[in-house]
Structure 1
Amino acid sequence: MITYLAPSIPERFFWVIADHLGQRLGSGAELTVEPRLSGPRRQNDPFELSEVDVGFMCAPSLVLLRETNVPCVELVPVAPVFADERAKGRPVYFSDVVVRADWDITSFDHLRGQTWAYNDSRSLSGWHSALERLRAIPAGSEFFSSTVASGSHLESLRLVTDDRVDAAAIDSNVLIMERGEHPGHSTRLRVIESWGPFPIQPAVVRTSLPGELKERITEHLQDLAQVRVDLRPRRNPLRALRSRHL
Protein backbone atom coordinates (compact mmCIF):
# COMPACT_ATOMS: atom_id res chain seq x y z
CA MET A 1 0.00 0.00 0.00
CA ILE A 2 1.16 3.54 -0.69
CA THR A 3 0.01 6.93 0.52
CA TYR A 4 0.79 10.30 -1.00
CA LEU A 5 -1.10 12.15 1.75
CA ALA A 6 1.27 11.80 4.72
CA PRO A 7 2.66 13.44 6.76
CA SER A 8 -0.03 16.12 6.36
CA ILE A 9 -2.58 13.40 7.13
CA PRO A 10 -0.85 11.44 9.92
CA GLU A 11 0.99 8.33 8.82
CA ARG A 12 -0.62 6.46 11.70
CA PHE A 13 -3.99 6.57 9.93
CA PHE A 14 -2.61 4.72 6.92
CA TRP A 15 -0.84 2.17 9.11
CA VAL A 16 -4.21 1.34 10.69
CA ILE A 17 -5.61 0.68 7.22
CA ALA A 18 -2.57 -1.31 6.06
CA ASP A 19 -2.57 -3.48 9.20
CA HIS A 20 -6.31 -4.08 8.90
CA LEU A 21 -6.04 -5.16 5.25
CA GLY A 22 -3.03 -7.35 5.95
CA GLN A 23 -4.82 -9.16 8.77
CA ARG A 24 -8.07 -9.63 6.86
CA LEU A 25 -6.38 -10.76 3.66
CA GLY A 26 -4.00 -13.02 5.57
CA SER A 27 -1.04 -11.80 3.57
CA GLY A 28 0.48 -9.05 5.68
CA ALA A 29 0.86 -5.53 4.33
CA GLU A 30 3.61 -3.01 3.73
CA LEU A 31 3.14 0.75 3.68
CA THR A 32 5.14 3.15 1.53
CA VAL A 33 4.91 6.86 2.33
CA GLU A 34 5.69 9.31 -0.49
CA PRO A 35 5.81 12.75 1.18
CA ARG A 36 7.01 14.78 -1.82
CA LEU A 37 3.98 14.49 -4.11
CA SER A 38 0.18 14.32 -3.91
CA GLY A 39 0.10 11.45 -6.40
CA PRO A 40 2.26 9.29 -8.67
CA ARG A 41 3.98 10.52 -11.79
CA ARG A 42 3.17 8.74 -15.02
CA GLN A 43 6.83 7.87 -15.32
CA ASN A 44 7.78 5.15 -12.85
CA ASP A 45 4.20 4.84 -11.65
CA PRO A 46 4.25 2.10 -8.96
CA PHE A 47 0.75 0.94 -9.94
CA GLU A 48 1.70 0.48 -13.58
CA LEU A 49 4.87 -1.30 -12.47
CA SER A 50 2.77 -3.59 -10.22
CA GLU A 51 4.77 -2.52 -7.17
CA VAL A 52 1.74 -1.53 -5.06
CA ASP A 53 -1.87 -2.72 -4.90
CA VAL A 54 -3.72 -0.06 -2.88
CA GLY A 55 -3.12 3.66 -2.61
CA PHE A 56 -4.33 7.02 -1.35
CA MET A 57 -3.75 10.16 -3.40
CA CYS A 58 -5.21 13.54 -4.26
CA ALA A 59 -7.99 13.60 -6.86
CA PRO A 60 -6.11 15.37 -9.71
CA SER A 61 -3.61 12.50 -9.84
CA LEU A 62 -6.42 9.95 -10.09
CA VAL A 63 -7.91 11.91 -13.00
CA LEU A 64 -4.56 11.92 -14.82
CA LEU A 65 -4.03 8.19 -14.27
CA ARG A 66 -7.53 7.40 -15.50
CA GLU A 67 -6.99 9.38 -18.72
CA THR A 68 -4.45 6.89 -20.07
CA ASN A 69 -5.44 4.33 -22.72
CA VAL A 70 -5.21 1.52 -20.18
CA PRO A 71 -5.82 3.01 -16.72
CA CYS A 72 -3.66 1.36 -14.08
CA VAL A 73 -5.89 2.25 -11.10
CA GLU A 74 -9.56 2.05 -10.18
CA LEU A 75 -11.50 4.03 -7.59
CA VAL A 76 -12.47 2.11 -4.46
CA PRO A 77 -16.07 2.99 -3.44
CA VAL A 78 -15.07 3.58 0.19
CA ALA A 79 -14.03 6.89 1.75
CA PRO A 80 -13.11 8.25 5.18
CA VAL A 81 -15.28 10.78 6.98
CA PHE A 82 -13.39 13.31 9.09
CA ALA A 83 -14.67 14.95 12.26
CA ASP A 84 -15.33 18.36 10.72
CA GLU A 85 -18.76 19.82 11.51
CA ARG A 86 -18.95 21.32 8.02
CA ALA A 87 -18.72 17.86 6.47
CA LYS A 88 -22.01 16.84 8.12
CA GLY A 89 -21.07 13.17 8.03
CA ARG A 90 -20.09 13.24 4.35
CA PRO A 91 -16.75 12.11 2.86
CA VAL A 92 -15.75 15.66 1.91
CA TYR A 93 -13.22 18.29 2.89
CA PHE A 94 -12.50 21.96 2.28
CA SER A 95 -9.67 24.26 1.29
CA ASP A 96 -9.09 26.88 3.99
CA VAL A 97 -7.18 30.01 3.00
CA VAL A 98 -5.00 31.09 5.92
CA VAL A 99 -3.14 34.32 6.68
CA ARG A 100 -1.46 35.59 9.82
CA ALA A 101 -3.97 36.58 12.46
CA ASP A 102 -2.43 40.04 12.92
CA TRP A 103 -3.01 40.95 9.27
CA ASP A 104 -6.23 42.89 8.64
CA ILE A 105 -6.93 41.28 5.26
CA THR A 106 -10.47 39.90 4.88
CA SER A 107 -10.71 38.40 1.38
CA PHE A 108 -8.71 36.37 -1.12
CA ASP A 109 -9.20 39.26 -3.56
CA HIS A 110 -6.98 41.39 -1.32
CA LEU A 111 -4.02 39.05 -1.83
CA ARG A 112 -3.07 40.59 -5.18
CA GLY A 113 0.63 41.34 -5.17
CA GLN A 114 1.28 39.12 -2.13
CA THR A 115 3.19 35.84 -1.78
CA TRP A 116 1.46 32.45 -1.89
CA ALA A 117 2.52 28.97 -0.78
CA TYR A 118 1.09 25.72 -2.11
CA ASN A 119 2.03 22.15 -1.32
CA ASP A 120 2.35 20.88 -4.91
CA SER A 121 0.72 21.25 -8.31
CA ARG A 122 -1.18 17.93 -8.01
CA SER A 123 -3.06 19.10 -4.92
CA LEU A 124 -6.76 19.89 -5.19
CA SER A 125 -6.99 21.89 -1.96
CA GLY A 126 -3.58 23.55 -2.16
CA TRP A 127 -3.30 24.42 -5.86
CA HIS A 128 -6.24 23.58 -8.14
CA SER A 129 -8.78 25.19 -5.82
CA ALA A 130 -6.77 28.42 -5.95
CA LEU A 131 -6.63 28.29 -9.75
CA GLU A 132 -10.41 27.96 -9.83
CA ARG A 133 -10.80 30.91 -7.46
CA LEU A 134 -8.46 33.02 -9.61
CA ARG A 135 -10.73 32.48 -12.61
CA ALA A 136 -13.36 34.56 -10.82
CA ILE A 137 -11.01 37.55 -10.62
CA PRO A 138 -10.81 39.99 -13.58
CA ALA A 139 -7.84 39.32 -15.82
CA GLY A 140 -4.80 41.51 -15.49
CA SER A 141 -1.19 41.21 -14.47
CA GLU A 142 0.06 38.30 -12.39
CA PHE A 143 -2.07 38.05 -9.27
CA PHE A 144 0.60 36.94 -6.79
CA SER A 145 4.01 38.57 -6.63
CA SER A 146 5.49 35.09 -6.21
CA THR A 147 4.49 31.53 -5.40
CA VAL A 148 6.38 28.91 -3.41
CA ALA A 149 6.01 25.14 -3.80
CA SER A 150 6.41 24.15 -0.16
CA GLY A 151 6.19 20.36 -0.53
CA SER A 152 3.40 19.79 2.02
CA HIS A 153 0.46 21.47 3.73
CA LEU A 154 2.40 21.37 6.99
CA GLU A 155 5.28 23.29 5.45
CA SER A 156 2.86 25.80 3.89
CA LEU A 157 1.45 26.44 7.37
CA ARG A 158 4.95 26.97 8.73
CA LEU A 159 5.79 29.42 5.96
CA VAL A 160 2.72 31.53 6.77
CA THR A 161 3.23 31.30 10.53
CA ASP A 162 6.89 32.32 10.20
CA ASP A 163 5.97 35.30 7.99
CA ARG A 164 7.91 33.92 5.02
CA VAL A 165 4.83 33.98 2.76
CA ASP A 166 1.55 35.83 3.10
CA ALA A 167 -1.06 33.13 2.53
CA ALA A 168 -1.78 29.53 1.57
CA ALA A 169 -4.72 27.21 0.94
CA ILE A 170 -4.68 24.29 3.37
CA ASP A 171 -6.55 20.97 3.46
CA SER A 172 -9.17 21.64 6.14
CA ASN A 173 -8.53 18.35 7.92
CA VAL A 174 -4.82 19.09 8.10
CA LEU A 175 -5.60 22.49 9.63
CA ILE A 176 -7.95 20.98 12.21
CA MET A 177 -5.35 18.43 13.26
CA GLU A 178 -2.52 20.97 13.40
CA ARG A 179 -4.59 23.29 15.57
CA GLY A 180 -5.22 20.39 17.91
CA GLU A 181 -1.54 19.53 18.19
CA HIS A 182 -0.31 23.14 18.14
CA PRO A 183 -2.94 25.37 19.78
CA GLY A 184 -0.79 28.40 19.02
CA HIS A 185 -1.90 28.16 15.41
CA SER A 186 -5.39 29.18 16.52
CA THR A 187 -4.07 32.54 17.65
CA ARG A 188 -1.38 33.06 14.99
CA LEU A 189 -3.41 32.10 11.91
CA ARG A 190 -6.78 33.16 10.58
CA VAL A 191 -9.00 31.65 7.86
CA ILE A 192 -10.26 34.30 5.43
CA GLU A 193 -12.05 32.03 2.95
CA SER A 194 -13.08 28.39 2.68
CA TRP A 195 -13.62 26.65 -0.66
CA GLY A 196 -15.50 23.45 -1.27
CA PRO A 197 -16.70 21.00 -0.23
CA PHE A 198 -14.57 18.68 -2.34
CA PRO A 199 -14.76 14.87 -2.44
CA ILE A 200 -12.31 13.39 0.02
CA GLN A 201 -9.00 12.12 -1.37
CA PRO A 202 -9.66 8.81 -3.14
CA ALA A 203 -8.58 5.30 -2.31
CA VAL A 204 -7.57 3.28 -5.36
CA VAL A 205 -6.63 -0.27 -6.29
CA ARG A 206 -4.41 -1.50 -9.07
CA THR A 207 -6.55 -2.36 -12.10
CA SER A 208 -4.59 -5.51 -12.93
CA LEU A 209 -5.42 -7.17 -9.59
CA PRO A 210 -7.77 -10.16 -9.82
CA GLY A 211 -11.40 -9.11 -9.57
CA GLU A 212 -12.02 -11.27 -6.49
CA LEU A 213 -9.11 -9.64 -4.65
CA LYS A 214 -10.37 -6.14 -5.50
CA GLU A 215 -13.78 -7.08 -4.11
CA ARG A 216 -12.20 -8.40 -0.91
CA ILE A 217 -10.14 -5.23 -0.48
CA THR A 218 -13.27 -3.11 -0.87
CA GLU A 219 -15.18 -5.31 1.57
CA HIS A 220 -12.46 -5.12 4.22
CA LEU A 221 -12.14 -1.36 3.84
CA GLN A 222 -15.87 -1.16 4.46
CA ASP A 223 -15.26 -2.98 7.75
CA LEU A 224 -13.48 0.14 8.94
CA ALA A 225 -16.85 1.92 9.05
CA GLN A 226 -17.04 0.72 12.65
CA VAL A 227 -13.56 1.98 13.55
CA ARG A 228 -12.73 5.37 14.99
CA VAL A 229 -9.10 6.37 14.66
CA ASP A 230 -7.98 8.96 17.20
CA LEU A 231 -5.50 11.21 15.42
CA ARG A 232 -5.19 13.89 18.06
CA PRO A 233 -2.65 13.98 20.86
CA ARG A 234 -3.80 12.59 24.20
CA ARG A 235 -4.45 16.06 25.58
CA ASN A 236 -7.13 16.65 22.96
CA PRO A 237 -9.15 13.48 22.26
CA LEU A 238 -11.91 15.10 20.21
CA ARG A 239 -10.36 14.57 16.79
CA ALA A 240 -11.23 11.26 15.20
CA LEU A 241 -11.64 9.77 11.80
CA ARG A 242 -14.26 7.31 10.69
CA SER A 243 -14.27 5.23 7.56
CA ARG A 244 -17.57 5.07 5.78
CA HIS A 245 -18.87 3.23 2.75
CA LEU A 246 -20.11 5.59 0.04
Structure 2
Amino acid sequence: MARVANARMYSANASVRADWKTLLAWVLARAELGWEVIDYDAPAPLSALWAREDLGLAMMCGLPFSQRTPRPTLVAAPVPSPARYGGRPVYFTDIVVRADAPYQRLEDTFGGVVGYTLADSMSGGVALANHLAPYSEAREARLYRKAVGNLIHARGVIEALAAGTIDVGPLDSYYHDLLRRNEPAFAQQVRIIASTEARPIPPLVATAALKPDELARLREALQASTKAPELHAVTERLLLAGFAVPDPADYDVLAQIARPDLPTFEEL
Protein backbone atom coordinates (compact mmCIF):
# COMPACT_ATOMS: atom_id res chain seq x y z
CA MET A 1 0.00 0.00 0.00
CA ALA A 2 1.27 3.45 -0.92
CA ARG A 3 1.41 5.69 2.13
CA VAL A 4 1.03 9.42 2.56
CA ALA A 5 2.12 12.17 4.93
CA ASN A 6 0.22 15.28 5.97
CA ALA A 7 0.31 18.07 8.58
CA ARG A 8 -3.01 19.78 7.84
CA MET A 9 -3.87 20.04 11.53
CA TYR A 10 -1.09 22.57 12.18
CA SER A 11 -0.98 24.22 8.76
CA ALA A 12 -2.09 27.54 10.21
CA ASN A 13 -1.69 29.42 6.92
CA ALA A 14 -0.15 28.93 3.47
CA SER A 15 3.42 29.65 4.56
CA VAL A 16 3.17 27.34 7.58
CA ARG A 17 1.70 24.61 5.36
CA ALA A 18 4.68 25.02 3.01
CA ASP A 19 7.10 24.72 5.93
CA TRP A 20 5.42 21.55 7.18
CA LYS A 21 5.60 20.07 3.68
CA THR A 22 9.29 20.92 3.49
CA LEU A 23 9.96 19.31 6.87
CA LEU A 24 7.94 16.16 6.14
CA ALA A 25 9.58 15.74 2.73
CA TRP A 26 13.01 16.04 4.39
CA VAL A 27 12.01 13.47 7.02
CA LEU A 28 10.76 10.98 4.43
CA ALA A 29 13.90 11.40 2.33
CA ARG A 30 16.16 10.85 5.35
CA ALA A 31 14.10 7.81 6.37
CA GLU A 32 14.36 6.49 2.78
CA LEU A 33 10.60 6.24 2.45
CA GLY A 34 9.19 7.20 -0.94
CA TRP A 35 5.84 8.41 0.32
CA GLU A 36 3.93 11.44 -0.93
CA VAL A 37 3.29 14.53 1.19
CA ILE A 38 -0.30 15.33 0.28
CA ASP A 39 -2.42 18.46 0.53
CA TYR A 40 -5.70 18.20 2.43
CA ASP A 41 -7.04 21.67 2.96
CA ALA A 42 -10.02 23.11 4.83
CA PRO A 43 -12.96 22.84 4.62
CA ALA A 44 -12.42 19.15 3.82
CA PRO A 45 -13.21 17.37 7.12
CA LEU A 46 -10.24 16.18 9.13
CA SER A 47 -12.31 13.21 10.30
CA ALA A 48 -12.27 11.88 6.72
CA LEU A 49 -8.49 12.25 6.56
CA TRP A 50 -8.04 10.43 9.85
CA ALA A 51 -10.33 7.60 8.71
CA ARG A 52 -7.94 6.75 5.88
CA GLU A 53 -5.94 3.53 6.14
CA ASP A 54 -2.95 4.78 4.14
CA LEU A 55 -1.56 7.39 6.53
CA GLY A 56 2.13 6.86 7.13
CA LEU A 57 2.88 10.11 8.94
CA ALA A 58 -0.01 12.43 9.71
CA MET A 59 -1.03 14.81 12.48
CA MET A 60 -4.09 13.51 14.33
CA CYS A 61 -6.12 15.10 17.11
CA GLY A 62 -5.44 13.23 20.34
CA LEU A 63 -9.13 12.56 20.99
CA PRO A 64 -9.84 10.38 17.92
CA PHE A 65 -6.41 8.83 18.42
CA SER A 66 -7.43 7.78 21.93
CA GLN A 67 -10.86 6.54 20.81
CA ARG A 68 -10.00 4.69 17.60
CA THR A 69 -9.88 0.88 17.51
CA PRO A 70 -7.42 -0.36 16.53
CA ARG A 71 -5.39 2.60 17.72
CA PRO A 72 -3.01 4.07 15.11
CA THR A 73 0.73 3.77 15.61
CA LEU A 74 2.06 6.78 17.49
CA VAL A 75 5.19 7.82 15.61
CA ALA A 76 6.11 10.97 17.53
CA ALA A 77 4.69 14.19 18.94
CA PRO A 78 5.93 17.75 18.42
CA VAL A 79 7.57 19.63 21.27
CA PRO A 80 6.74 23.32 20.78
CA SER A 81 9.54 25.76 21.52
CA PRO A 82 7.70 28.57 23.40
CA ALA A 83 8.47 28.65 27.11
CA ARG A 84 4.95 27.83 28.27
CA TYR A 85 5.28 24.27 26.95
CA GLY A 86 8.21 23.55 29.25
CA GLY A 87 10.00 21.39 26.68
CA ARG A 88 7.16 18.85 26.77
CA PRO A 89 4.89 17.39 24.05
CA VAL A 90 1.82 19.17 25.43
CA TYR A 91 -0.57 21.93 24.48
CA PHE A 92 -3.45 23.93 25.93
CA THR A 93 -6.75 25.36 24.79
CA ASP A 94 -6.46 29.13 24.85
CA ILE A 95 -9.80 30.76 25.59
CA VAL A 96 -9.83 34.04 23.69
CA VAL A 97 -11.90 37.17 23.17
CA ARG A 98 -11.63 40.03 20.71
CA ALA A 99 -8.62 42.20 21.50
CA ASP A 100 -10.75 45.28 22.21
CA ALA A 101 -13.46 43.45 24.18
CA PRO A 102 -14.10 44.65 27.75
CA TYR A 103 -13.79 41.17 29.28
CA GLN A 104 -10.96 40.60 31.76
CA ARG A 105 -11.96 37.19 33.17
CA LEU A 106 -13.67 34.17 31.67
CA GLU A 107 -16.64 34.82 33.96
CA ASP A 108 -17.10 38.22 32.32
CA THR A 109 -18.11 36.47 29.07
CA PHE A 110 -21.01 34.62 30.68
CA GLY A 111 -24.32 35.74 29.20
CA GLY A 112 -22.72 36.30 25.80
CA VAL A 113 -22.18 34.05 22.78
CA VAL A 114 -19.69 31.18 22.89
CA GLY A 115 -18.17 29.71 19.75
CA TYR A 116 -16.48 26.42 19.01
CA THR A 117 -14.94 24.68 16.01
CA LEU A 118 -16.48 21.22 16.07
CA ALA A 119 -18.20 19.44 18.94
CA ASP A 120 -15.82 16.46 18.65
CA SER A 121 -12.62 18.53 18.43
CA MET A 122 -10.48 18.28 21.56
CA SER A 123 -8.95 21.76 21.46
CA GLY A 124 -11.82 23.45 19.65
CA GLY A 125 -14.72 21.94 21.56
CA VAL A 126 -14.35 19.24 24.19
CA ALA A 127 -11.58 20.90 26.23
CA LEU A 128 -13.55 24.14 26.47
CA ALA A 129 -16.78 22.36 27.40
CA ASN A 130 -14.88 20.43 30.09
CA HIS A 131 -13.36 23.67 31.41
CA LEU A 132 -16.76 25.37 31.54
CA ALA A 133 -18.69 22.47 33.08
CA PRO A 134 -17.83 23.30 36.74
CA TYR A 135 -19.00 26.90 36.23
CA SER A 136 -22.27 25.62 34.79
CA GLU A 137 -22.78 23.20 37.66
CA ALA A 138 -22.09 25.92 40.24
CA ARG A 139 -24.54 28.36 38.63
CA GLU A 140 -27.18 25.71 37.96
CA ALA A 141 -28.05 27.74 34.90
CA ARG A 142 -26.80 28.27 31.37
CA LEU A 143 -23.61 30.25 31.08
CA TYR A 144 -24.20 31.59 27.57
CA ARG A 145 -27.31 32.80 25.81
CA LYS A 146 -26.21 31.27 22.50
CA ALA A 147 -23.61 28.90 21.03
CA VAL A 148 -22.19 29.10 17.50
CA GLY A 149 -20.50 25.96 16.19
CA ASN A 150 -18.99 24.62 12.98
CA LEU A 151 -16.29 27.29 12.93
CA ILE A 152 -14.03 24.46 11.60
CA HIS A 153 -10.63 25.63 12.89
CA ALA A 154 -8.84 28.26 14.94
CA ARG A 155 -8.90 30.74 12.05
CA GLY A 156 -12.68 30.45 11.99
CA VAL A 157 -12.82 31.25 15.71
CA ILE A 158 -10.67 34.36 15.25
CA GLU A 159 -12.72 35.48 12.24
CA ALA A 160 -15.97 35.03 14.21
CA LEU A 161 -14.57 37.04 17.14
CA ALA A 162 -13.35 39.81 14.85
CA ALA A 163 -16.77 39.97 13.18
CA GLY A 164 -18.59 40.10 16.52
CA THR A 165 -20.44 36.86 15.79
CA ILE A 166 -19.20 35.37 19.05
CA ASP A 167 -17.82 36.81 22.28
CA VAL A 168 -15.48 34.01 23.34
CA GLY A 169 -13.98 30.90 21.76
CA PRO A 170 -11.23 28.27 21.95
CA LEU A 171 -7.89 28.07 20.15
CA ASP A 172 -5.43 25.18 20.05
CA SER A 173 -2.48 26.91 21.73
CA TYR A 174 0.17 25.58 19.32
CA TYR A 175 -1.92 26.65 16.31
CA HIS A 176 -2.43 30.00 18.06
CA ASP A 177 1.30 30.41 18.63
CA LEU A 178 2.01 29.52 14.98
CA LEU A 179 -0.36 32.28 13.92
CA ARG A 180 1.23 34.75 16.34
CA ARG A 181 4.65 33.90 14.89
CA ASN A 182 3.74 33.73 11.21
CA GLU A 183 0.64 35.95 10.81
CA PRO A 184 0.79 38.40 13.72
CA ALA A 185 -1.65 40.97 12.35
CA PHE A 186 -4.35 38.32 12.08
CA ALA A 187 -3.59 36.79 15.49
CA GLN A 188 -3.53 40.17 17.23
CA GLN A 189 -7.27 40.53 16.67
CA VAL A 190 -7.78 38.37 19.79
CA ARG A 191 -6.31 37.99 23.27
CA ILE A 192 -6.23 35.21 25.84
CA ILE A 193 -8.35 35.50 28.99
CA ALA A 194 -7.86 31.92 30.22
CA SER A 195 -6.20 28.64 29.25
CA THR A 196 -6.98 25.06 30.12
CA GLU A 197 -4.46 22.80 31.82
CA ALA A 198 -1.86 21.09 29.66
CA ARG A 199 -2.86 18.01 27.69
CA PRO A 200 -0.91 15.63 25.43
CA ILE A 201 -0.36 17.37 22.08
CA PRO A 202 -1.79 15.88 18.85
CA PRO A 203 0.73 13.32 17.61
CA LEU A 204 2.04 12.23 14.26
CA VAL A 205 0.57 8.80 13.62
CA ALA A 206 0.35 6.01 11.07
CA THR A 207 -2.87 4.19 10.29
CA ALA A 208 -1.06 1.98 7.76
CA ALA A 209 1.06 -0.88 9.05
CA LEU A 210 4.70 0.09 9.57
CA LYS A 211 7.60 -2.31 9.74
CA PRO A 212 9.72 -1.87 12.89
CA ASP A 213 12.63 -0.50 10.87
CA GLU A 214 10.37 2.00 9.08
CA LEU A 215 9.06 3.27 12.40
CA ALA A 216 12.58 3.55 13.79
CA ARG A 217 13.81 5.44 10.71
CA LEU A 218 10.86 7.84 10.88
CA ARG A 219 11.49 8.62 14.53
CA GLU A 220 15.20 9.16 13.96
CA ALA A 221 14.53 11.44 11.00
CA LEU A 222 11.97 13.52 12.89
CA GLN A 223 14.35 14.01 15.80
CA ALA A 224 17.18 14.87 13.40
CA SER A 225 15.05 17.42 11.54
CA THR A 226 15.14 19.98 14.35
CA LYS A 227 18.93 19.78 14.46
CA ALA A 228 19.54 19.97 10.68
CA PRO A 229 21.16 23.31 9.71
CA GLU A 230 19.30 23.37 6.40
CA LEU A 231 15.96 23.24 8.26
CA HIS A 232 16.84 25.78 10.94
CA ALA A 233 14.68 28.55 9.47
CA VAL A 234 11.80 26.12 8.89
CA THR A 235 11.79 24.71 12.42
CA GLU A 236 12.15 28.21 13.87
CA ARG A 237 9.03 29.35 11.99
CA LEU A 238 7.25 26.16 13.07
CA LEU A 239 8.23 26.84 16.71
CA LEU A 240 9.60 23.31 16.97
CA ALA A 241 12.06 22.42 19.71
CA GLY A 242 12.03 18.74 18.80
CA PHE A 243 9.94 15.58 18.68
CA ALA A 244 9.22 13.19 21.54
CA VAL A 245 7.77 9.67 21.61
CA PRO A 246 5.08 9.71 24.31
CA ASP A 247 3.45 6.60 25.70
CA PRO A 248 0.20 6.10 23.73
CA ALA A 249 -1.52 5.56 27.08
CA ASP A 250 -0.84 9.24 27.89
CA TYR A 251 -3.72 10.03 25.55
CA ASP A 252 -6.28 7.96 27.46
CA VAL A 253 -7.05 11.03 29.57
CA LEU A 254 -8.55 12.71 26.50
CA ALA A 255 -11.15 9.98 26.03
CA GLN A 256 -11.97 10.33 29.72
CA ILE A 257 -12.51 14.10 29.34
CA ALA A 258 -14.95 13.48 26.49
CA ARG A 259 -17.28 11.73 28.91
CA PRO A 260 -20.89 10.97 27.89
CA ASP A 261 -22.33 13.37 30.47
CA LEU A 262 -20.22 16.35 29.37
CA PRO A 263 -22.60 19.26 28.68
CA THR A 264 -23.02 20.34 25.07
CA PHE A 265 -22.44 23.97 24.16
CA GLU A 266 -26.18 24.35 23.68
CA GLU A 267 -26.54 23.34 27.35
CA LEU A 268 -23.72 25.50 28.74
TM range (shorter): 0.7 to 0.9
User: Residue 8 of structure 1: SS of its match in structure 2?
Assistant: coil
User: Residue 55 of structure 2: SS of its match in structure 1?
Assistant: coil
Deviation at 1:187, TM superposition (A): 5.4
Distance 1:238 1:61, change over 3 A: closer
The aligned residue for residue 40 of structure 1 is: 47
CA contact (8 A) 1:229 1:242 kept: no
Write the distance in 1 (CA, Å) between the matches of 2:9 and 2:61. Answer: 7
CA deviations on 1:90-135 (whole Å, 9 max, x unpaired) are 2222211111222221222333332222222332221111111122
* TM alignment of 1:79-118, pairs within 5 A: 79-118=77-116
User: Residue 53 of structure 1: SS of its match in structure 2?
Assistant: strand
Deviation at 1:148, TM superposition (A): 2.1
Distance 1:16 1:183, change over 3 A: closer
Write the distance in 1 (CA, Å) between the matches of 2:214 and 2:17. Answer: 25
Instruction: Indicate the RMSD between aligned Cα atoms, in angstroms.
Output: 2.8
Write the distance in 2 (CA, Å) between the matches of 1:32 and 1:166. Answer: 35
Matched, 1:58 2:65: no
The aligned residue for residue 159 of structure 2 is: 158
* TM alignment of 1:93-242, pairs within 5 A: 93-139=91-137, 140-144=140-144, 145-185=146-186, 188-206=189-207, 208-227=209-228, 230=233, 240-242=239-241
Write the distance in 2 (CA, Å) between the matches of 1:204 and 1:148. Answer: 27
Normalising by structure 2, we get a TM-score of: 0.74
Matched residue type, 2:7: T
Normalising by structure 1, we get a TM-score of: 0.80
The aligned residue for residue 17 of structure 1 is: 23
**Larger RCO of the pair (alpha carbons < 8 Å, separation 6+):** 2
Distance 1:167 1:230, change over 3 A: farther
Distance 1:143 1:38, change over 3 A: farther
**Structure with the higher fraction of residues in strand conformation:** 1
Write the distance in 2 (CA, Å) between the matches of 1:106 and 1:53. Answer: 44
User: Residue 190 of structure 1: SS of its match in structure 2?
Assistant: strand
CA contact (8 A) 1:94 1:194 kept: yes
Deviation at 1:157, TM superposition (A): 0.8
Distance 1:8 1:239, change over 3 A: closer
Q: Percent identity over the alignment? A: 21
**Structure with the higher fraction of residues in helix conformation:** 2
The aligned residue for residue 5 of structure 1 is: 9
CA contact (8 A) 1:19 1:28 kept: no
User: Residue 62 of structure 1: SS of its match in structure 2?
Assistant: helix
Write the distance in 2 (CA, Å) between the matches of 1:173 and 1:64. Answer: 22
Paired residues, number: 233
Matched residue type, 1:40: S
Gaps of 5+ in 1: none
